[in-house]
Amino acid sequence: MTSSHGCSESGRQTSSPARAERRMDGKMTDSLWPGGSTVTEIADSVAKGEVTATELAEAVIHRIETLDPIVQAFSQFDAGRLREEAAQLDREAEQGQLRGPLHGVPVSIKEWFDVEGFPTILRGPNAEPARSDSTLVARLRASGALIAGKTIVPLGEEPPPTRNPWNTDHTAGGSSSGSAASVSARMVPMSLGEQTGGSNLRPASFCGLAGLKPTYGLLSRKGMFPGFWSRDHPGLIGLTSADMALVLSAIAGYDPKDPTTIEAPPPASDLPAMSSTPRIGIIRNFFPDLTSESMLASVEEAKDRLAASGAEVVDVQLPEEFGAVWDAGTFLAAEFVTHRSAGWAEAGSAVTVADLGTGTPAINTASRRATELVPATYYLQARRIRSYLIGAITEQFHDLGLDAFMLAVSPTTAPEGFETTGNPILLVPWSFLGFPAATVNAGLSSDRLPVGIQLVRPQRQDRDLLAVTQWCENSLGVLPPPPLVTEPR
């Protein structure tokens, strides 16, 4: 095993300088990877025999060696193993056998997921290497993906040290910051992340990327380190909505090892063309009060640009009961406490004031640990509120004839420093409700940090959501790679 920062093997430069202009057709302009820039392009090039998995692996190794000492996205990376796996993929391709739609595509994996041969660090400082892959990693491999390495999630819920490739003095978000930074710095074109509160879309947004938190149960949690069982969502971070759709189709679907997965075929890999311009409902209550003025102005600007492209943007007021969503979500922390109890008991330490510290900073200050004291009726009432709101919001969405709700991803752009990873308060409700939510980049702020908008639909409408986000990408454009990547080193 070799850490990314101690890797001594040198890769070869396979990339060409990026063109940094902003494209307005949703396609990437940089050609940082052999065979293209997006998952879709790279997979197509591999399938046509224009590029090999080995060439892609060397590009990954080169980028990680060059950039990860600065960005600190990876926790575990093994160049030798990556080359071996790429060589095996190339042997299969030479025999005309492509494993699947992702043959040769490099993907990074958040620490939360078991990857065979790598310890899942969150399981403890002495964790043994995982004996098998989590379901999603196994499905990625079966689709031909090249598992590039694991991305940082510190043990003990400390903020990750990962730097934002757009400004290395700023956080990349959390806790999937390593996943987002690995894509933003073009070390990989796709990453498997996870969101319990706002940990997938926030870093994706902070790093100027596309991100998807699918419907709860669309992606298996088997082999994923648990947080809140009913709020844990595996997620994707990449460059375009089309890439999300392709990878989602490869890994989604029922898993008998995870009884919460949806018994339905995975969404198709291609996105449906929208029959008309989208009708987008911009949420005008609850969320604006939680969002900074500058971010609200950015959302308004994005709204105007979408409208100028033909979108019908209407104001929406969510029902009054929606206001309970944040407090109700608090009580699901009992799931976290239940899971962690055995570890705490093993550690043998008594509960102290410090243990009662804020469990989910900035959502509210309710202590996760305090749910240990709350009668079970409150947990069940929280679950009933979830049921009620799922029905009420879904009905409202369809009554209004919407294609997506729209709001900001985060109250601010990526904060400076690494004491905090930003505020998940605008994302938590959708994690609580299990609704699919996605982020689309809407440009850069005045201080040159990415600004993201969030689009949401009711459960099991992930593919339709991605069709809307793709339309928005085409309208708003796609960011070029950050200067960290394109400037000569």
Partner 1 sequence: MPSNGWVERGDARRGRSAGRWGDVARRRQTLLTINNLQVSVEFGLPLDSPFASIVKIQPSGRDGIVRLKPAVSTDEALEWLKSEAVSTWGLEMSPEIEQQLQPTAQAMALLSALDIPEDVEPLLL
Binding site for partner 1 (CB under 8 A): 217, 230, 259-260, 321, 324, 327-328, 330-331, 350-351, 353, 356-357, 364-367, 370-375, 377-378, 380-388, 390-391
Asked if residues 115 and 100 have their Cβ atoms less than 8 Å apart, the reply is: no
Least CB distance to partner 1 at residue 459 (A): 10
Alpha carbon 375 to chain centroid, angstroms:
34
What's the rounded Cα separation, in Å, for the pair 225 and 228?
Answer: 10
Q: Cβ distance 300 to 283 under 8 Å?
A: no
Q: Is residue 75 helix, strand or coil?
A: strand
Element (H, E) at 407: strand 404-408
**CB nearer to partner 1: pick between 206 and 435:** 435
In the bound complex, what is the minimum distance in angstroms from residue 346's beta carbon to partner 1? 15
Nearer to partner 1 among residue 312 and residue 372 (C-beta): 372
Q: How far apart are CA 288 and CA 305, in angstroms?
A: 19
Q: In 158-240, which residue ranges form alpha helices assigned H by DSSP? A: 177-184, 201-206
Q: What tokens were used for 304? A: 């105007």
**Complex with partner 1: residue 328 or 466, whichever CB lies closer:** 328
- Rounded-to-integer distance, Cα 206 and Cα 187, Å: 17
* For partner 1, the closer CB: 31 or 364: 364
Helix-strand-coil percent breakdown of the chain, rounded to 5?
A: 40, 15, 45
**From the CB of 383, what's the least distance to partner 1, in Å?**
3
- Give least dist CB 410 to partner 1, A: 21
DSSP secondary structure of 267-288: PPSSPPPPSS--EEEEE-SSSG
C-alpha distance from residue 417 to each of 153, 302, 482, 485 (Å): 17, 27, 18, 20
Instruction: Locate 239 and state its tokens.
Output: 């460059």
CB of 156 vs partner 1, minimal distance in Å: 19
Q: Could you tell me the smallest distance in angstroms from the CB atom of residue 427 to partner 1?
A: 19
Smaller CB separation from partner 1, 15 or 394: 394
Q: Which CA distances in Å does 122 have to 178, 194, 243?
A: 14, 14, 28
Least spacing, CB of residue 381 vs partner 1, in Å: 5
Min separation Cβ 135 and partner 1, Å? 17
Q: Among residues 89 and 385, whose Cβ is nearest to partner 1?
A: 385
For residue 151, list its beta bridge partners: 74, 110
Of 108 and 360, CB closest to partner 1:
360
Q: Coil, helix or strand for 126?
A: coil
Between 60 and 218, whose beta carbon lies closer to partner 1? 218
CB of 417 to partner 1, least distance (A): 25
The token duo for 44 is 């197509």
Nearest CA-CA partner of 139 in 176, 102, 106: 102
Distance linking the first and last C-alpha atoms of the chain: 27
Residue (97 or 358) nearer to partner 1, CB: 358
Retrieve residue 121's tokens. 């660090």
The nearest distance, CB 347 to partner 1, in angstroms, is 14
Choice between 247 and 425, CB closer to partner 1: 425
